[in-house]
Chains A and B, each alone.
Chain A
Amino acid sequence: MNPIIKVEDLKAVYLVREGTIKAADRISFEVQENSVTAIVGESASGKSTIIEAMTKTLPPNGRILSGKVLYNGKDILTLSNEELRKIKWKEIALVPQAAQQSLNPTMKIIDHFKDTVEAHRVNWNHNELIKKASEKLKMVRLNPEAVLYAYPLQLSGGMKQRVLIALALLLEPKVLILDEPTSALDVLTQAHIIQLLKELKKMLNITLIFVTHDIAVAAELADNVAVIYGGNLIEFNSTFQIFKNPLHPYTNGLINSIMAVNADMSKVKPIPGDPPSLLNPPSGCRFHPRCEHAMEICKKEKPQLIEIENGAQVACYLYKEGGRWNETSDKNRSY
């Protein structure tokens, strides 16, 4: 299999008055064509930052400091604006998390579809545009007649979010990136959108990357899961392996707490401590202040993402390249 997207050593920050927020640091992973990848992590861990940096759609104060994002072998980050513009949406579409403010308040929904189509010189006449837009809106369970001629403020949050998904489907992109696609939706609509994504996965020739803090959704949809902690990618593995055998202590805690919810509430063991500050992140492994296995080296040097076995990747000193436990820490492993 070929990676359609390969992220190498991506580093992005936000400039704020107090300094720089290191929201994505040394992020590397591969996405295979037609696979589904979930990016999970707690709030403010840098999930949105990663996918926005990948598509060069960071907010005005965001900066990409280094790294590569290879799309079919070509680095997106070094493309000219015009080359990038042509790829955006037509080949790689990003549905943002900020669904509430992502539509032009003074333009009807139909005009958003129209602008998108015109930007990519797709030769549809007005009727075709209406037909295609209606088709996509129906896919996300919206009534085209009610939505197309409405202004954004006439739509509810969940409706806007689905309009964005419909917009993203319009040009049938190769890669569809969704940031919390179900967060503004009620349980029923949420289930429907997840169903839709499942169908998309089967039906279209499409690669899906989606961000979620709901690990259950990831379990349901994804082939692979990337776990983000404090702006770092700490584990990348197949969904099956992530759940069966979480490697990183943080992932382990995360999975355990989810499983406990399903099994026995009394066993819920939240991970102690607070999420790290990204303005002044902890030295070494960013998880070390909360990690029960922390060693001296963890405080000093940042662990690299290394491949263990069968493509499983983890950034933790408990592991050594090639799949062996570190001798010194073996006895610490209590799980």
Chain B
Amino acid sequence: MNYFINKTLYLLIVFAIAISGVFVLVNNMPGDPAYGLAVSIAQQRNMQIEQALEIAHKMMGIDPHESIFIRYGKFVSNLLKGNFGYSAFYNTSVNEIIAKSLPWSLFVISLATFLSFTIGIFLGAFAAQKRDTIIEGIISTVSSIIQAIPPFILAVLILFVFSVRLKVLPLGGAYPVDIEPSFSLEFISKIFLHALGPMLAIAIPQMASWTLSMRGNTSQIMEEDFIRFAEARGLRDSVIAAKYVRNNAMLPLVASLAISVGYMLGGQTLVESIFNYPGIGFYFGKAIAVRDFGLLTGLFTLIVIGVILATFIADFVYALIDPRVKLK
């Protein structure tokens, strides 16, 4: 029990620091955070920029004469109320943008994680079992190369080859514009088809890195005395491979799953932008491009929270599955 109290306290402190960090960072960016909104208001309503700025400030709930401490207080209290701020560019609350983009991101991330993890674990364990053979050499070398490819380059490649040239994948979006969202089989299959590009771009390097970690962990475990002792007891190879080698080798990886999901949330800005895929990363990229500080702050906060939560979950999962941690 103590473990959870400690962890929760720790989590709250990290949250506080991280959120303050985001605030300071964004507030020190050059320019008025309301400027973007003001420009679009000025254009729409055909008014002076000063006037538009005033309106924009009001819309975003910013008082330019307020001290930074009061603004910080407001920011925090808004956050505590679950309010992530206002997007000037989209002229709507950040919460709304999160609500419609987060599911897409999570969808792609979970698919990518599931696929890369299962295949990576399998390949890594397989390579380790084939130690000192050409098979291990091939798997390891190819994985090291693939692991080093940035996902956005893969994204461009996939887009070019499969969408532009072969035309087997769509060019962008989460689903075709001419279909009404529904639970029909057709719509669902389209969703998967649209997610495939970004998913692969993220999953392939991930898979390579899971493969390498799993291979490393597995060959390390295979040297352990308890493997030899399991063999001495006459256990079948299949039982040893699963219960003794794989389970122990996988343990640290299962825990880092959560961390990797957390990082992916913020890490796929470029991939989502390239595929025009309306996830968090896409809006994050947009916010930077159009200098929408409100949206930027909100999404940034969300991503930071995501990463911290993921780390916390990873610790928790580790404690849950590894008796060595659980019992401490």
Contact = CB atoms under 8 A, between A and B. Distances in A.
Contacts of B229: 96, 98, 102-103, 164
A89 B234 contact: yes
Given A96-B225, A102-B226, A86 B323 contact: no
A167 B233 contact: yes
Contacts of B223: 59-60
A101 B234 contact: no
Contacts, number: 83
B233 A151 contact: no
A88 B225 CA distance: 16
Contacts of A55: 232
A106 B244 CA distance: 8
Given A60-B223, A106-B322, A115-B239, A88 B232 contact: yes
A306 to B, nearest CB: 33
Given A107-B243, A115-B243, A89 B226 contact: no
A211 to B, nearest CB: 15
Contacts of B231: 57, 88
B300 to A, nearest CB: 39
The secondary structure that dominates the B interface is helix
B226 A104 contact: yes
B234 A120 contact: yes
A170 to B, nearest CB: 9
A102 B231 CA distance: 11
A55 B233 CA distance: 11
Interface in B205-257: 222-226, 228-237, 239, 243-244, 247-248, 251
Interface in A159-174: 164, 167
A57 B225 CA distance: 10
B327 interface: yes
Interface string A99-135: 0011111110000000110111000000000000000
A86 B231 CA distance: 11
A151 B234 contact: no
A102 B327 CA distance: 20
B27 to A, nearest CB: 48
Contacts of A47: none
B323 A87 contact: no
Interface in A204-247: none
A153 interface: yes
Interface string B305-326: 0000000000000000111100
A88 B234 contact: yes
Contacts of B230: 104, 115
Contacts of A101: 224-226
B243 A104 contact: yes
Contacts of B247: 106
Contacts of B327: 151, 153-154
A90 B251 CA distance: 31
Nearest to B250: A106
A89 B234 CA distance: 6
Contacts of B232: 55, 57, 88-89, 93-94, 96
B234 A103 contact: no
A98 B243 contact: no
A116 B226 CA distance: 13
A88 B226 contact: no
Contacts of A104: 226, 230, 243-244, 248
Nearest to A153: B324
A267 interface: no
Given A116-B233, A119-B233, A119-B234, A105 B324 contact: yes
Nearest to A117: B233
A102 B225 contact: yes
Contacts of A103: 226, 229
Interface string A30-46: 00000000000000000
8 closest cross-chain pairs (CB), A and B: A88-B234, A101-B225, A102-B229, A151-B323, A89-B234, A98-B225, A119-B235, A57-B232
11 contacts: A60-B223, A88-B231, A88-B234, A89-B232, A89-B234, A104-B226, A104-B243, A115-B239, A116-B233, A153-B327, A167-B233
